[in-house]
Chain A
Amino acid sequence: MNAAPETIARPPVIEMFDVAVATARAPDTAVISGVNWRVSLDDYWVIGGPTGSGKSDLLATAAGLQRPLSGAHRLFGSELPSLHETERLRERLRVGVVFEDGARPFPQLTVAENIALPLRYHRDWNDAMIRQRVGEMLDVTELSAFAGRAPSELARALVPRVGLARALALGPEALLLDNPLAGLDPRQERWWVDFIASLAAGHPSMKGRKMTIVVACDDLRPWTSQGRQFALLKENQFLPLGGRDGLERCNEPLLRDLIAAESP
């Protein structure tokens, strides 16, 4: 990977050294091999790949949710298995994950309860502090009017925002998003792209701290003007492309396909 000098100077968030990424469906099978990848603080990575290329598994491995089949993976400079459970949890919580397929909110909880769950579980806050943080998350994701509703009672386009608000509630330093625009109309797409851009630039709800962003997608068009680093997943390989200039120079046919992809 050809990283710019200033990228190397910034502290690492995610590092992978010759990692073979397992697939959740068949834990002994590598879906991507030989991944050498470094995500530094304040990076904005966009990873394109067709359906079934292993985007979700790569993000799960990057977040420390899935163990690599081989190779070394570090989160904020630490190898998770070597850490004590408390430290491992602390490192893991520095990364938020927004899943594909509606971001997987818990259907038995209301929107507000979904957002409050990680706060109630991990923070020794009183109810007023939790309510305040939940209210803040509801405001920024424009879900305040639906706080008491179950996720199944929301319009389909709003459901992933519950998962987004829940992932942001603990104030992570990095956010990994798996195909966040899948199934959204152009207006909703715009909202997501703008909101993620504001997180990368330093959102007030995150105390103005710039967030490290990694987006995996199967349609690169909305992200070409947003991402600062790009990569492709092709034939079980992770192919870093560099910055926007690298994206323009790249002659990879798959990249052309992903940029020309029709919105679902």
Chain B
Amino acid sequence: MSIGAGAPLEVTAPSRETPSTHPLDRWVDGVRRRSNSAFAALYEATADDLVSFAYGMLRERAAAEDAVQQAFLELVRAAGRFRGNGEALRVWLFKSVRYRCLDELKRAGRRRERPSHELPDQPVAAHHDPGLEPALERALDALSDKARTMIILRHVVGMSGEEIAAVVGLRRPTVYKALERAEARLRVALEEPA
């Protein structure tokens, strides 16, 4: 994860008595004070991971970018109430993006149902990116929302099981077992002929 070490900071640097344990810790105070430079540094450090996660969930780049921006705008509004360290801040952002993606998927589902009630159940993807392989989309559609979230966080963002557990609100052992099952199903689906 790139942190943007050269970014100008006006926030308090981590003191020597309480060494930082997470790369984002140094910007937490600035975020609480709604410092633009802290938001800029936080955005630089997390935007690529967040947009990759959102793209995996929504499969449409513009919608993914919008989800990330909306999450940051939500953070701007809630920043004064935020309590936690850098790790909690990162988890907060991923949770926010996740909720926005799920809302977008629901909206897309409703839009799809509106023209005709005779349409069969369609894949849960909000949009269709023509660059994506249909087999991959079908395989992801077959997963539940939580399973898909965990797969994307693990295999696209590269999150640890502990971070994933915090984002999806499950215990770590549960995440490992659910991931194992989802990965197996995904592999089988990817190997199936169209």
Q: Do A and B bind each other?
A: no
B residues sitting closer than 8 Å to A (CB atoms) are none
Residues of A that sit less than 8 Å from B by CB: none
